[in-house]
Amino acid sequence: MESLEVVKILFRDWKGSYKWLGLSLFLVVISVSGTLLIPFFSSFLINDGITAGNSDVMVRYGIYMLIMAVIVGICEFLNVAIAVSFSEKSCHGLRSGAFAHIQSFSFGGLDKYSSSDLLVRLTTDIQNIKIGIQQTLLNVFKSPLTLIVSLFFLYITAPGLMWVAAVLVVVECLILVVYLWFSTKAYDKKQVKYDKLNEVLKESMSGVRVVKAFVRQDLENQRFQDASEELREAALKPQYYFAFITPTLTMLVYLGSAGILYVGGAGLLEGTGLTLGGVTAAMSYLIMALLPITTLGYMIPFVTSAISSLRRVYEIIHEETDVINSENVKPVDTDKMKGGVTFKNVSFGYPVKDEKQPTMALKNINLNIEPGEVVGILGATGSGKSTLVNLIPRFYDVTEGEITIDGIDIREMPLETLRYVAAVCLQGSNFFSGTIRDNLVSGVPDSVYDAMVQTAKDVGVHEITSRDMLSGPIDTSYDAMVRAAKAADAHGFVSAMPQKYDSLIARGGSDLSGGQRQRLSIARTLMLNPKILILDDSTSAVDVATEARIQDSVQDLMQGVTQIIVAQRISAVITADKIVLMDNGEIIAVGSHEELLESNKLYQDIYTSQFGVETPKQGVVE
């Protein structure tokens, strides 16, 4: 986005708040008028009061100047209050709007921006915008108005000194234009380097255990130092520009004052009609005419940085969400859904920046999963397993072909409904800071969650045993949470905690083991009671015995539910009704464990490598 386009969008977003801008302009007019009347009154005080020795005139104009000073102070205070309030309100709207839009991103949109980049845009960039808006509201009306009216009063007071002011104003404006041209690019480059530093910092902090485990401290220190040095070099340039512009403009103000005093003093001595009060007022008007330009020089770095940040925030807000409810979306009666899934000639490629054609991760997938069937998806890392199941809840949209559930194209189903029908336990077990209960019910509709909380309070959950939880007078919604935890083999270690389901866990579940996080993640997914349950390598961090218990419990709890289990270990899918073997984005074979073990060489190789047992070779398909 160009700078002018960004500013136009901001003004459009301000629609409905123009009355505050109008009030600010009104206050600025009064403030500027009062400020410029003070030198005007001072000229009379000097000529008709001090020089003439008239104390009454001195007192009268002194009172006038005092009144003007009070009025100017009140107007300035109110204008600052409006600027602060307006900037905070604007930034709150931008921050909330950007965050809300990020929530609507598909996985493709989230792939485009790193989490550290989004964090900077919603924090540092918003702060830059706030300062820029404040500086703009305080000076955008005041500076040009002060400049114009000051020159007007200067012309009335001492027209013979007008040429001095004209020369200095032109010179300062030219310097500002050149400064603005170079500083804008410098601030843009600085922000890019700032993003890079945050990316390195986030990677290092989130992977600090890996860094220590592999003794990578020196390497990470060097990476951070390199990024920090690049930021330092990028930040120095706009600071050098700022260091040049401020003293240069201030120097021109002093030169102008000296010029007015010299030319005006010479005029007084030569008897050209200038008065002492007129020369003094002219000097004040010249300073008032040049100070707005100097203020703009001080303000421009903040405004330039704000425009750059505003461009980045609007980039997020205006990012097109590629996975949305289509015009053909229809309400779906989920109670009547059975959970059959069909892939018809499905191909998918992750979009690659600066490339028109994406690299295909899935190629011509045709697969039919019957309602209530348990299907295992097996393959090596990068074979396309997770990509395949991520298409079912429309985390991504297919590039070619279609996916249907019970014959309904998933693009014609409301997204919210689809993701309750097809619930996914993702590979990454991410948790929010709070209690275990909060995390387990995070996907449950609010009405159900409220009932669970109230029931727990009513029966005093901390005093109840696991037997009571299943057979006591607890609301079925709370009972469902406990059953889900039991099915995921999580109830045991949760019950051993002092506060049980009200035990606090750290952000990300960092105070839990990998296996505990995976089991709670499975329980959270089971809470949705979906028609289609997708477990994406969800037992990779648990031992084989625990995995077997989870499989048996989930089978008992989710009878009649279509289950899709993604795994790299055969043990995780060995009991599935059928196993889909994938390699390089394609389905290589489909069959039961016994059928694939007898007929497919790749499956035999995987089996041999994992179990260390030779398999029969007859009838093998290469």
Q: Which of 511, 545, 564 is the last residue of a domain?
A: 511
On whether the CB atoms of residues 205 and 119 are closer than 8 A, the answer is: no
Least confident stretch, 114-118, 189-193, 358-362, 443-447: 443-447
Q: How far is CA 200 from the centre of its chain?
A: 17
Whole-number pLDDT of residue 422: 85
Total residues belonging to the chain: 622
Quick one: pLDDT at residue 619?
A: 47
pLDDT above 50 (res 456): no
| Nearest Cα to Cα of residue 460 among 504, 499, 505 | 499
Backbone φ and ψ for 581, nearest 5 degrees, come out as -95, 125
At residue 8, the pLDDT reads: 66
The residue-averaged pLDDT of 351-379 equals 80
Task: Clarify whether residues 590 and 455 are in a common domain.
Answer: no
Q: What percent of the chain has pLDDT over 70?
A: 84
More confident residue, 322 or 3: 322
CB neighbours of residue 156 within 10 Å: 13
- The DSSP H or E segment spanning 574 is none
Range in 226-240, 248-262, 453-467 with the lowest mean pLDDT: 453-467
Task: Please state the rounded mean pLDDT for residues 153-178.
Answer: 80
On whether residue 86 sits in a domain, the answer given is no
Residues 563 and 486 grouped into a single domain = no
Cα 385 to Cα 413, 483, 564, 566, distances in angstroms: 23, 29, 11, 6
The overall average pLDDT reported for the chain is: 77
pLDDT tens across 276-324, in order? 776 777 777 777 777 787 777 777 778 877 887 888 888 887 777 777 7
Residue 569's Cα: distance from chain center in Å? 37
333 and 287 within one domain: no
- In one letter, which amino acid is 39? P
Domain-embedded: residue 517: no
Sign of dihedral through CA atoms 251, 252, 255, 256?
A: negative
Look at residues 450, 483, 511 and tell me which one is the last residue of a structural domain. Answer: 511
The CATH number of whichever domain residue 98 belongs to comes to 1.20.1560.10
Say if CB 102 and CB 313 are below 8 A apart.
no
| Phi/psi-derived region of residue 350, left when phi > 0, alpha when psi is between -120 and 50, beta in every other case | beta
| Top-confidence residue, 615 or 97 | 97
Answer with the residue of higher pLDDT: 400 or 331.
400
Whether the predicted pLDDT of 327 surpasses 80: no
Given a contact cutoff of 8 angstroms between Cβ atoms, the answer to whether 179 and 239 are in contact is no
Same domain membership, residue 358 and residue 451: no
Whether 27 maps to a domain, the answer reads no
Confidence of residue 354 (pLDDT cuts 50, 70, 90): low
Alpha-carbon distance of 621 to 209, in angstroms, equals 44
Residue 16: what pLDDT? 64
pLDDT tens-digit map of 31-56: 888 887 887 787 778 777 777 777 88
- Are residues 145 and 273 part of one domain? yes
Residue with tokens 């083991």: 513
Degrees to nearest 5, angle at CA 426 with 555 and 511: 100
Of 439 and 473, more confident: 439
pLDDT per residue over 105-136, tens digit each? Answer: 777 767 777 777 788 788 888 888 888 888 88
Q: pLDDT value at position 62?
A: 85
Of 21-35, 72-86, 119-133, 233-247, the one with minimum mean pLDDT is 233-247
For residue 297, tell me if it sits in a domain: yes
Residue 594 lies in a domain: yes
Whole-number Å distance between alpha carbons of 408 and 578? 23
CATH number at residue 334: 3.40.50.300
Specify the number of domains making up the chain.
3
Q: Is the pLDDT of residue 459 over 60?
A: no
The mean pLDDT of 229-234, rounded to a whole number, is: 82
Q: Exposed e or buried b for every residue in 339-348, given b needs 16+ CB within 10 A?
A: bbbbbbebbb
Last residue of a domain, one of 265, 288, 317: 317
For residue 608, is it within any domain?
A: yes
> Strand, coil or helix: what is 402?
strand
The residue range of the domain holding 480 is: 432-511
Do 239 and 281 lie in one domain? The reply is: yes
Helix or strand run (H / E) with residue 274: none
Per the model's pLDDT, the better-predicted residue between 543 and 520 turns out to be 520
Rounding to the nearest 10 degrees, give the CA dihedral for residues 52, 56, 59, 62.
-50
pLDDT at 344: 92
Which parts of 118-195 are beta strand (E)?
A: none
Q: DSSP states of 497-510 as a string?
A: STTGGG-EE-GGGT
Instruction: Please tell me whether residues 462 and 557 are part of one structural domain.
Output: no
CA dist., res. 392 & res. 397, Å (int): 9
- Joined together, the tokens standing for residue 600 give 């497919």
Of 422-426, 510-514, 589-593, minimum mean pLDDT range: 510-514
How does pLDDT run across 396-412, given as a tens digit for each residue?
888 888 988 888 888 88
- Check whether residue 545 and residue 507 sit in a common domain: no
Mean pLDDT of 15-41: 80
Residue 453: band (very low, low, confident or very high) from pLDDT cuts 50, 70, 90: very low
For residue 474, being part of any structural domain is answered with yes
260 shares a domain with 155: yes
My answer on whether 437 and 414 are in the same domain is: no
Asked whether residue 469 falls in the same domain as residue 567, the answer is no
Instruction: Examine the domain organization and report whether 289 and 179 are in the same domain.
Output: yes
Residue 70 pLDDT level (bands cut at 50, 70, 90): very high
Rounded CA-CA distance 507/528 in Å is 22
Region 200-229 average pLDDT: 75
Is residue 76 a part of any domain in this protein? Answer: no
Exposure string for 524-547, b = 16+ CB within 10 A, e = fewer: bbbbbebbbbbbbbbbbbbeeebb
